[in-house]
Amino acid sequence: MADESKKWVLMVTAQTPTNIAVIKYWGKRDETLILPINDSISVTLDPEHLCTTTTVAVSPSFESDRMWLNGKEISLSGGRYQNCLREIRSRASDVHDEGKGVHIEKKDWEKLHLHIASYNNFPTAAGLASSAAGFACLVFALAKLMNVKEDQGKLSAIARQGSGSACRSLFGGFVKWIMGKGDNGSDSLAVQLVDEKHWDELVIIIAVVSSRQKETSSTSGMRESVETSLLLKHRAKEIVPKRIIQMEEAIKNHDFSSFANLTCADSNQFHAVCLDTSPPIFYMNNTSHRIISCVEKWNHSEETPQVAYTFDAGPNAVLIARNRKVASLLLQRMLFYFPPTPETDLNNFILGDKSILQDAGIKEMKDIDALSSPPEIKDNANVPKYRGEVSYFICTRPGRGPVELADASQALLNPETGLPK
């Protein structure tokens, strides 16, 4: 090891995307190892709009493992963090940084402590899979720091032990989490189906829905579903395996109709299973239902699907548009039905890729009020609007997997002290 009297700090900063499942993961066969009861498929969201940035640091001066999330220190004592740290440490290799004169040997990692700082560029509590991006980023950054030689698939199996869906955030594009067969979880890992360039016409709009309800956590929700839903077993065993094959085919062939039908049906079936749980779990609310109705009506009128919707363990809608043109028409519809409250700043109402707003012909708030009702609405006289039911929209697209950020200015920890900047 390097001279402990020298107060060096070695660090790595990485950025990892979040992902949204289009064939859902719901139900574990092993609670500790986080092994699922079915395969799932997700699309990785562009980290430019939704991502976690994590800096991990090691120094002989650190007295314990510590972590800060969005600037606030949090406990690392939870089993999920401990599992990830243990698994990564056990795979660490020698690290030599000649510039800093740092030499860490494989065996030293067990004794050295870590500082971790993590930051989401989107609201943590908005139900946008922050834990997926978070654990993926933690594992990816630590693997770089500790010179772990395993491939991304193996790393995904470690991230999985932090948060199941985190394993899918180790890759860009479309990703499959293979449930695996073994009891030790080594074959339950993510693989990339296609990268983010394969189907780059797709545009994704997330509607963050206002909600008064406190939601059931997905961890306890899926445990209760496994214990009580008679439909879940049938779904996992008989329905999902067929859908996985169909979805892979649809993605490979850019077959949007099939992709949209499968995505919507699988989201609805996941929520059906939640409802079949005792006591029943409601993640979608009236606003979610209205968004679905709007999309279904439009898709029906066009005869071929224009937009797919999917909802995770909360009321937010993730809408996937066939292409950019459709995305601007979708945004018009969403803004027509769900205009912002009067005090809202348009700039805070549409986040992410704001250029879609221009395509939709919206420059200022009065352009939203001037939107006419969509052509698929027959009874124009009495179209209800639901002002304020959507808090904001995020416009994004399929994106890349994790990257290391070489630029030291992006680190979240002070390179001298190893404490948050």
Residues interacting with a second copy, by CB under 8 A? 212, 230-231, 234-235, 238-239, 261, 264-265, 268-269, 271-273, 275-280, 282, 285-286, 289, 292-293, 296, 300, 384
**CA–CA separation, 391 and 411 (whole Å):** 31
Name the minimum Å distance from CB 259 to a second copy: 14
Name the minimum Å distance from CB 280 to a second copy: 5
Helix (H, G, I), strand (E, B) or coil at 310: strand
Q: What is the CA radius of gyration of the chain?
A: 22
Cβ proximity to a second copy, 315 vs 398, nearer residue: 315
3-state secondary structure 94-158: CEEECCCCEEECHHHHHCCEEEEEEEECCCHHHCCCHHHHHHHHHHHHHHHHCCCCCCHHHHHHH
Cβ proximity to a second copy, 122 vs 309, nearer residue: 309
Cβ proximity to a second copy, 41 vs 232, nearer residue: 232
Name the minimum Å distance from CB 265 to a second copy: 6
Cβ proximity to a second copy, 238 vs 407, nearer residue: 238
Cβ proximity to a second copy, 272 vs 419, nearer residue: 272
* CB-count exposure of residue 71 (10 Å: 0-12, 13-18, 19+): exposed
Name the minimum Å distance from CB 413 to a second copy: 38
Cβ proximity to a second copy, 230 vs 408, nearer residue: 230
Dump the DSSP string for 216-282.
PPHHHHHHHHHHH-HHHHHIIIIIHHHHHHHHHHHHHTT-HHHHHHHHHHHHHHHHHHHHTSSS---
**CA–CA separation, 374 and 353 (whole Å):** 23
Name the minimum Å distance from CB 51 to a second copy: 31
Name the minimum Å distance from CB 20 to a second copy: 18
**CA–CA separation, 71 and 64 (whole Å):** 18
Helix (H, G, I), strand (E, B) or coil at 41: strand
Residue 125 near residue 70 (C-beta atoms within 8 A): no
Residue carrying the six token digits 């406990």: 75
Q: Which of 151, 167, 225, 181 is nearest to 42 (CA)?
A: 167
Cβ proximity to a second copy, 16 vs 287, nearer residue: 287
Name the minimum Å distance from CB 238 to a second copy: 8
Name the minimum Å distance from CB 319 to a second copy: 15
Name the minimum Å distance from CB 318 to a second copy: 16
Cβ proximity to a second copy, 55 vs 267, nearer residue: 267
**CA–CA separation, 203 and 398 (whole Å):** 7
Residue carrying the six token digits 């990692």: 109
Residue 148 near residue 93 (C-beta atoms within 8 A): yes
Taking the CA of residue 318 as centre, how many other CA atoms within 13 Å lie in the half-sphere pointing to its CB? Answer: 29
Name the minimum Å distance from CB 273 to a second copy: 7
Q: Any residues with CB less than 8 A from the CB of 213 and at least 6 apart, and which? A: 282, 285, 315
Residue length of the chain: 421
Cβ proximity to a second copy, 74 vs 275, nearer residue: 275
Cβ proximity to a second copy, 285 vs 344, nearer residue: 285
